[in-house]
């Protein structure tokens, strides 16, 4: 079955703005519910379970403007089901 994009947002933030965004998302995750909004009509509500699968990826790509680094954090789960345990992710 093909995937369905529920929402997508892209913006440029300074470091403080990025930290604030991530802290806000972290707070919603702790509460177990996140209401995400991008513009007036683009929004999605998520129920976040106790256990999720987390993928962390860092890539480097040479572009004409220079070297582009990308940090991607992907959190996934099945509706109504907790994810199985896997290797521990640590950020130092």
Q: pLDDT band for position 92 (50/70/90)?
A: very low
> What pLDDT sits at residue 83?
46
Q: What values do phi and psi take at 51, rounded to 5?
A: -120, 135
3-state SS, one letter per residue, for the chain: CCCCCCCCCCCCCCHHHHHHHHHHHHHHHHHCEEEEEECCCEEEEEECCCCCEEEEEEEEEEECCEEEEEEEEEEECECCECCCCCCCCCCC
Q: Which residue is associated with the tokens 């994009």?
A: 5
6-37: per-residue pLDDT in tens?
888 889 999 999 999 999 999 999 999 999 88
pTM for the complete prediction?
Answer: 0.76
């Amino acid at each position: 079955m093909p995937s369905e994009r529920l929402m997508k947002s892209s913006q440029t933030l300074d470091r403080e703005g990025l930290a604030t965004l991530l802290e806000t998302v972290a707070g919603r995750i702790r509460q177990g519910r996140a209401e995400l909004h991008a513009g007036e009509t683009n929004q999605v509500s998520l129920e976040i379970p106790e256990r999720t699968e987390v993928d962390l990826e860092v890539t480097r790509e040479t572009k004409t403007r220079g070297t582009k680094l990308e940090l991607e954090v992907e959190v996934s789960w099945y509706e109504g089901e907790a994810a199985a345990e896997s290797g521990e992710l640590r950020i130092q």
